């Protein structure tokens, strides 16, 4: 039985993932799997601003509006987005083509 990498990441007690983690993640071809791994990062408490920045950057490579919006909504619900990262958040959100999915993220951001 194989273990889920996202489950292992959630259980890890170490600090935020290093940049190399995101470089490896860039090679994941499935939008679903890419979002799942990033969502496991997002679920960690007290993310550093640098990690939020890397999550936003990595989210831009997700082609599925649904998967990218789901990730951005999870990020907005789990962590306050610092003012200096708002432009990056908006850039990532601009990559979501669906008005409905963008609206879901905006609702999560407003809460």
The tens digit of pLDDT for each residue in 35-74 reads 999 999 999 998 999 999 999 999 999 999 999 999 999 9
d(CA 56, CA 51): 9
CA 98 to each of CA 66, 68, 93, 101: distance values in angstroms, whole numbers, following the listed order: 8, 11, 10, 5
**pTM (predicted TM-score):** 0.82
Question: Coil, strand, or helix at residue 71?
Answer: helix
**DSSP structure class, residue 14:** S
């Amino acid at each position: 039985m194989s273990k889920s990498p996202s489950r292992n990441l959630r259980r890890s007690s170490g600090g935020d993932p290093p940049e190399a983690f995101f470089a490896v993640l860039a090679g994941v071809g499935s939008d679903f799997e890419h979002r799942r791994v990033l969502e496991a990062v997002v679920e960690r408490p007290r993310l550093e601003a640098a990690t939020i920045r890397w999550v936003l950057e990595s989210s831009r490579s997700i082609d599925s509006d649904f998967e990218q919006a789901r990730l951005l909504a999870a990020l907005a619900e789990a962590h306050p987005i610092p003012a200096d990262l708002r432009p990056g958040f908006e850039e990532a959100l601009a990559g979501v083509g669906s008005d409905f999915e963008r609206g879901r993220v905006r609702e999560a951001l407003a809460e």
